[in-house]
Structure 1
Amino acid sequence: MRLPVVVGVDGSEGSLRALDWAAAEAARSRRPLRVVHASLWEHYEGLRPTADTGRPAEQILAEHLVASARDRAQDLRPEVSVVADVQPEDPVAALVRESHEAALVVLGSRGRGRIAGMLLGSVGLALAGRSHCPVVVIPAVQPRTPAEPGRVVVGISDATSPSAAAVFALAQAASRHGELTAVRAWRRPAHELLSHPPFPGAPASPHRRQAEEHLEEVLKALKAPQPQEGDESGTVIHRSVARGPAHQVLIEAAEDAELLVVGARRSSGWHGLQLGPVNHAVLHYAPCPVAVVPDTYHG
């Protein structure tokens, strides 16, 4: 059986957006969908059931929540096999465990309670740093700019070979019958700016040329996934080399994208991932769903 798409739900509006996205992804990738709600039975909003069932009232509410989420996903995508599960434990621990046997884990960028006002909830940030498979974080609000159908953006790192993020991004673009934009950011060293300030009409910077050459080298080694039966079209890959901080370049490039993909490195001597400034910035401010792909992920 193919690994499922796992989505974490908590009843918030953000988690419903994540559920809808995950259901569409499961249908597109022909995978089952697994709906998970995890809680330490903390206080829930609203009235509690009064019937004596021998089970905690919070558990009953949680079961109603995932049943409603399962029905919603099944109504949206009848062709997808959907299962739902309630787990009485910390949400991060539960979803990290789920990530061992998942194609990807999806969740909304905001949660319930006191963290609801944050652009990125603590569960999303913690999961992105510990997951064993790609994590997709869905913005809590609809983007202002409509997405161009099938457009996927990926950041290209300093590595000389295609990263797991690049491979994942290409597969995502192919499954959408869309296009991939590979983005490489570059910056002029500060000492050069002071001694040789740029002027209009100046020749291309050697740093830009190096970025262009590096991007070409990586993309030549990036192999397109096998097309699905009946699909003879290839995935078009666009190149984008832009000057500026990597996080800013990626956020601007993702303005009308369906998905922005970035990588994360596994830390030596620790079980988590290194979420650097670029990861944090795009998770907080990107205008579209963001996928964080561990460098150890093989699909």
Structure 2
Amino acid sequence: MMSQQTRMNVSSSPIARRDRCIVGFDGSSASVMALDWAVTWAARNHREVHLVGVVDDEAGALGGARADDRDRAQAQLLSLAFALLAERYPGLVVANRLVTGPVASSLAAAARPNDIVVVGADKAVYAHGQFFGVRSVQLAALVSGPLVVVPAADLRFRAGVLVAIDGGPESSRLACIGAEEAMARQCAVGLVHSVAVEATLEQRHLGELVLREAFEAARAVAPGLEISRHLANRRPAEAMLNLARDRALLVMGRSRRNAAPGVGGTLHEVLINANVPVMVLP
């Protein structure tokens, strides 16, 4: 295991000392975009940034010399990224670490309960990186805290936060977190709740009540924030991905309605087809 850390102009906030932003980094374009997203978020929320590189030994096919070369290359990537962050963001607490093992479980193990884990996702180049596609689904099932999956897409002109509301007991909390993210970005927040295409008038009315309750919770957090509500007559994942096409962030919950391992079908579909940074909350 290899690690480095730098502390320059460290904030005295207890959040900065306790909670961290864990970034899966393998040098791919997807992981670079994830790191850019994480640095911006961490600076805004007074979090440390910890780069974690994982040497994946699942295949077990490399000989000793090639394995050593791979380890050195990964270590060099981490050191370079570490040095660049320390130079460009002198007020940020930065650390890095290289670990060995299965990618998803190793990255999940590197995070503490209050840490936020950030990874990149790029469906187009599956063979060239480690932290995307199915990896994000595996991580969603393994990490106990927040997870952010950042797609390899042009996010420069994105604005707005979208919050998926499922009507469960945590809906108001999700709406509040989405409102806080929108305030930090100085943008609007949208709330979306889905009902079946064949929904009855009573079911639609219940959907409107769910959205209204979430709306009031978000407005209590940010009275001056622009908040919109969307009752969608389509599958939840389809509604989220459609409305999030031009947004900067999608906030959704990680369902724990059953004890089975893995994630629910909606979260699985969203992560596999992510067209927006997705913040998955427990």
Is the contact made by 2:137 and 2:272 (CA closer than 8 Å) also made in structure 1? no
Q: Does 1:266 align with 2:256?
A: yes
Measure how far apart 1:116 and its partner are.
4.5
Is the contact made by 2:26 and 2:130 (CA closer than 8 Å) also made in structure 1? no
Unpaired stretches in structure 1, ≥5 consecutive residues? 193-204, 228-232, 295-299
Quick one: distance in 2 between partners of 1:133 and 1:119? 17
Measure how far apart 1:28 and its partner are.
1.1
Equivalent residue, structure 1, for 2:143? 131
Equivalent residue, structure 2, for 1:254? 244
Equivalent residue, structure 2, for 1:108? 120
Measure how far apart 1:56 and its partner are.
3.1
Quick one: distance in 1 between partners of 2:197 and 2:53? 47
Q: Does 1:218 align with 2:206?
A: no
> What RMSD over aligned residues (CA atoms) do the two structures have, in Å?
3.3
Is the contact made by 1:153 and 1:254 (CA closer than 8 Å) also made in structure 2? yes
Is the contact made by 2:126 and 2:132 (CA closer than 8 Å) also made in structure 1? no
- Choose which of 11, 17, 32 in structure 1 pairs with 2:27: 11
Quick one: distance in 1 between partners of 2:105 and 2:196? 39
Measure how far apart 1:266 and its partner are.
2.6
Is the contact made by 2:140 and 2:147 (CA closer than 8 Å) also made in structure 1? yes
Quick one: distance in 2 between partners of 1:242 and 1:28? 32
Is the contact made by 1:92 and 1:127 (CA closer than 8 Å) also made in structure 2? yes
Quick one: distance in 1 between partners of 2:42 and 2:122? 22
Quick one: distance in 2 between partners of 1:64 and 1:114? 22
Equivalent residue, structure 2, for 1:85? 97
Equivalent residue, structure 2, for 1:277? 265
- Choose which of 121, 146, 155 in structure 1 pairs with 2:157: 146
User: Relative to 1, partners in 2 of residues 1:249 and 1:161: Cα closer, same or farther, differing over 3 Å?
Assistant: same
Equivalent residue, structure 2, for 1:288? 276
Is the contact made by 2:196 and 2:234 (CA closer than 8 Å) also made in structure 1? yes
User: Relative to 1, partners in 2 of residues 1:174 and 1:69: Cα closer, same or farther, differing over 3 Å?
Assistant: same
Letter matched to residue 210 of structure 2: H
Pairs within 5 Å for 1:22-37: 22-37=38-53
User: Relative to 1, partners in 2 of residues 1:124 and 1:93: Cα closer, same or farther, differing over 3 Å?
Assistant: same
- Choose which of 198, 201, 214 in structure 2 pairs with 1:189: 198
Pairs within 5 Å for 1:148-167: 148=159, 151-160=160-169, 162=171, 164-167=173-176
Quick one: distance in 1 between partners of 2:35 and 2:114? 15
Measure how far apart 1:210 and its partner are.
2.5
User: Relative to 1, partners in 2 of residues 1:212 and 1:290: Cα closer, same or farther, differing over 3 Å?
Assistant: same
User: Relative to 1, partners in 2 of residues 1:37 and 1:102: Cα closer, same or farther, differing over 3 Å?
Assistant: farther
Q: Which has the larger radius of gyration?
A: 1
Which deviations, in whole Å up to 9, do the C-alpha atoms of 1:201-256 show, x marking residues without a partner? xxxx443333112211233345755x8xxxxx843322222222211211121121
Counting matched residue pairs gives 262
- Structure (1 or 2) with the greater helix fraction: 2
Is the contact made by 2:54 and 2:99 (CA closer than 8 Å) also made in structure 1? yes
Equivalent residue, structure 1, for 2:77? 65
Q: 157-166 vs 95-104, which deviates more?
A: 157-166
Tell me the SS of whatever aligns to 2:255. Answer: strand
Quick one: distance in 2 between partners of 1:67 and 1:212? 51
Is the contact made by 1:20 and 1:73 (CA closer than 8 Å) also made in structure 2? no
Equivalent residue, structure 1, for 2:6? none
Which deviations, in whole Å up to 9, do the C-alpha atoms of 1:280-299 show, x marking residues without a partner? 222122321111111xxxxx
Letter matched to residue 11 of structure 1: G
Quick one: distance in 2 between partners of 1:120 and 1:65? 18
TM-score by length of 1: 0.75
Quick one: distance in 2 between partners of 1:217 and 1:260? 19
Is the contact made by 2:24 and 2:131 (CA closer than 8 Å) also made in structure 1? no
Letter matched to residue 81 of structure 1: V
Pairs within 5 Å for 1:200-211: 205-211=201-207
Letter matched to residue 252 of structure 1: N
Unpaired stretches in structure 2, ≥5 consecutive residues? 1-16
